[in-house]
Chain A
């Protein structure tokens, strides 16, 4: 009885998930005053807990699509999630909760947290949409709140960074809109499941795939479309930078896996060599440029670029095994980039700036900060036992089977990541202490970062908690034998 009751009310499961951040946004905008932060944190936690509870209770890797028609043609309620989306929804909840908690003390909290929750709602919608029009609506809905958060709360050249971010992603959106309209016009439906059943003619797939890939490649960002990234990461308030890189970039990964690969199998296969090459180059490029940076945020930005291109490599080489790797790496990167941004901010508070030039020896007076940083860097540079290794290994190993050259090039990143990662630790924490003793991490700061690092270790030891949500290498082999 209980089970059936749950099932019947389950038609609104997806609505509940989307409503959490929307209601939270509305609540923040209303007169909750200083509770806005708590509302935003709760919204993130609720989303993560609800999705995990759903997955555990149903024992399935996804939420079956719930659909009913809406006002007219091409508008329907169609939400659901596959295993990939499910995991990213949990990541969204976790990172938005941590980011909201880390935003405490922000000026104009009501507007900030309202925009924050709106962003969460839009990202959640992207991960749930099973209809191209809905997908596009949520995809666009992400832009403005993020741009406003960067512009109004950012530092340095916030306006320039926000405009560049908008500009670049809008060019992508124009491509996406064009692609979506073309597909919808051609097939007369925007429902994803229906579209997958009737793939477009092979001849048209390549060019259509390009439109979609264009949008996602800018958002990821794939080398060389990343020009907006360094400024945006530098100017954005730290929590915004953390979710921008940790979650928002994953909407691009998700779009590639959820839309491009199933809608345009032939087109993506044709584009694969060039996309794989760009991603492999981008992986190295980000790491190379990171070795030259002396500003913690810029190091994190280019290290992120490297990781995101590696994830792209996994997506573009398009076997089930690389998809597993891309999922693990996405989660890992989300956790670690958030941890790194927060830790870098804690460090900057203590030494009075983001530059590594005039600091050193911080470990002597702040051993816990140093230890947390070292653990986060270990994950970022893919030491086994951390989630970073599991994702990187799975992507590279599976890519090697299809594109050995690209895999070998991208594997060189393990050397470069050691150079920039350990270089950061050495410059900031080791050597003789410069300046006064630094305050070590307080309880609140530890509480913010520790869950991220614990999750990274947990997934590092048990990556199948994540990777088993999507079909894996066994599916590849079945394909081969067939």
Chain B
């Protein structure tokens, strides 16, 4: 039951906030929101320290009337570290949110949704069958929709929220059909009983994973999702929800067809490289991080696709820490500068933000994968696992170098370069309620990787062989070169590194977004218009025509009676005629045999 407590605690927080939140103060919303998540973290931690981990199962009760459709949780090999990360990072971000939202009028909504989100994410991580996983899968999408659109009076936020949900729903439709196929083939959705799935079924599940984890070509919703409050971006669009696709691949593991896993790795490598280039061109603080997230998720897809469970899980956790740090740091920067996000207008904040700057630096070091920050060890693990597939390995290493470059660029433009505008002068450090979680996340962003690498922390998954020395040195060298170039180039301010045309294309995400959104809305709009103006109008017209015909015949005979009675007669007449015709044809009497 402790296992279900993990999920039920945040849910009850959400329910309390939704039902009674109107009568509570803003501060209390935050306390309930963060408190219920912290309690959930405590429950996971107590299980972990008690040594009750892998293999634990708990069924709350029946849900859908199908095999493998119960409300059941189970901890598999990735469950414990993921649950710890989700609840831990979420609790810190919830605390940060109290400070960040300040006097926002929507704290009740915000914290209720945040609590529901954590519960839903835990369903994905811990669900014992695909029905529960899918429930969590869709619910995190709903929460993401609600939180992206938190500032709902902003048209851009409302539009981005809908876009995120609809794109995710496209992936969910494929996921759903995949579930139907599994049910038809295996007659159960229990995760234990999934053997080798067919290529088609595996591909359908992969489509779901691509949308949720913002992989090409379904990545288009994530950059827009930055319209949400920054703590939401840190939690949902960096550390947890967007990793759900990777989690799904890890949890399904060997059940997926090898061809599909290879496709996942290929798409991941392509996305990783492309998104890293796009990140390099962005001029918006949060959009750099969004593209970077897409890129890092691509690396995880490479890892999951080649079956490197340890490396993928390692990078997923390391990324959660350093990217959440970066986002919270970005939030602190925006808080300090009155929501300035334009990199060209920032700069010189290092001396002014004495806590934010080093914390952000820790996150950037992790992202740049400079030894000894977390990202170094986890990226190296993925590169090592990909060594026997040269193309993938090159892509991973190149992405690493680019990541270092744009991470250094980001840090330089925000903290080192000369002030880009007057907003910098008024910058002030954020309140302690924001700084404490920020620093608490910066520490694992720096040290988590090394701790895992030396065996201080076990992920519960057997570690892969150490990387060859040449790879370690090569990766470190690439990261150093990238970071050095970035710092040197950008410390004096914005500077176009990429050729102008290429930079513009990269800034726009190489046009995939526009093409897909325009194509998609054109398709839906055209079909809908054709059906509405063509088919629907014709049907309406035919009904009217039949009606006029009957009414006219009726009107001639009986002027005095109401239209009702006339049509009632017409109908009785029609019935009699039909009946006669029917019997005269001998069909009805045939039934009498």
Contacts and interface: CB of A to CB of B under 8 A. Distances in A.
A binds B: yes
A25 B527 CA distance: 46
A292 B568 CA distance: 35
A163 B590 contact: no
A385 B65 contact: no
Contacts of B183: 397, 400-401
B181 interface: yes
A292 B567 contact: no
B547 A163 contact: yes
Interface string B512-547: 000000000000110111011001100110111011
Contacts of A261: none
A97 to B, nearest CB: 23
Interface stretch (A71-79, A88-96, A283-291): A283-291
A208 interface: yes
B66 A397 contact: yes
A164 B578 CA distance: 21
Contacts of B423: none
A419 B166 contact: yes
Interface string A153-176: 000000100011011101101110
A313 interface: no
Interface residues on B, range: 35 or more
A431 to B, nearest CB: 5
Contact of B159 (A163, A200, A378, A426): A426
Contact of B528 (A289, A461, A463): A289
B184 A227 contact: no
Contacts of B169: 414-415, 418
A361 interface: yes
Nearest to B530: A288
Given A167-B550, A167-B567, A473-B66, A185 B177 contact: no
Given A170-B567, A400-B181, A415-B173, A473 B539 contact: no
Contacts of B162: 418, 422-423, 426
Interface string A416-452: 1011001100100111110000000000000000000
Contacts of A433: 153
Nearest to A429: B152
B159 to A, nearest CB: 7
Contact of B578 (A178, A412, A430): A178
A350 interface: no
Interface string B148-170: 01001111011101100110011
Given A182-B591, A224-B535, A378 B142 contact: yes
B154 to A, nearest CB: 8
A203 interface: yes
B470 interface: no
Interface in A203-221: 203-204, 207-208
Interface centre among A147, A171, A183, A371 (most CB of B within 10 A): A171
B564 A467 contact: no
A204 B162 CA distance: 51
Given A204-B590, A288-B527, A227 B542 contact: yes
Contacts of B142: 378, 383
A203 B590 contact: yes
B300 interface: no
Contacts of B592: 185-187
B579 interface: yes
A186 B592 CA distance: 4
A414 B176 contact: yes
Interface stretch (B132-140, B401-409, B437-445, B458-466): B132-140
Contacts of B172: 414
Nearest to A370: B152
Contact of B149 (A171, A407, A430, A467): A430
Contacts of A171: 546, 571, 574
Interface string B559-573: 000011001101110
B61 to A, nearest CB: 8
Contacts of B547: 163-164, 167
Nearest to B157: A430
Given A408-B177, A411-B176, A167 B543 contact: yes
Contacts of B502: none
Tell me the dominant secondary structure on chain B's binding face: helix
A72 to B, nearest CB: 21
Contacts of B570: 170
B582 interface: yes
Given A364-B153, A397-B180, A390 B64 contact: yes
A288 B528 contact: yes
Interface string B50-65: 0000000000011111
Contacts of B578: 174-175, 178
B571 A174 contact: yes
B587 interface: yes
A81 interface: no
A163 B536 contact: no
Contacts of B157: 430
A182 B165 contact: no
A262 interface: no
B541 to A, nearest CB: 9
Contacts of B23: none
Contacts of B568: 166, 170
B171 to A, nearest CB: 10
A67 interface: no
Interface in B456-504: none
Contacts of B531: 285, 288-289
B153 A385 contact: no
Contacts of A173: 571, 575
Give me the 4 closest cross-chain CB pairs, A-B, nearest first. Answer: A170-B571, A384-B135, A400-B180, A186-B591
Interface of B: 18, 61-67, 109, 134-136, 138-139, 142, 145-146, 149, 152-155, 157-159, 161-162, 165-166, 169-170, 172-173, 176-177, 179-181, 183-184, 187, 524-525, 527-529, 531-532, 535-536, 539-540, 542-544, 546-547, 550-551, 563-564, 567-568, 570-572, 574-575, 578-579, 582-583, 587-588, 590-593
28 contacts: A163-B567, A164-B547, A170-B574, A173-B575, A174-B575, A178-B579, A178-B582, A185-B591, A186-B592, A187-B592, A201-B590, A227-B540, A292-B525, A361-B152, A363-B152, A364-B153, A383-B138, A385-B135, A385-B139, A394-B66, A415-B166, A419-B166, A419-B524, A426-B159, A429-B152, A432-B153, A432-B155, A463-B63
Given A201-B590, A462-B62, A464-B64, 13 more contacts: A167-B546, A201-B591, A285-B535, A288-B524, A288-B528, A394-B66, A401-B180, A407-B177, A430-B152, A430-B158, A431-B158, A432-B155, A461-B63
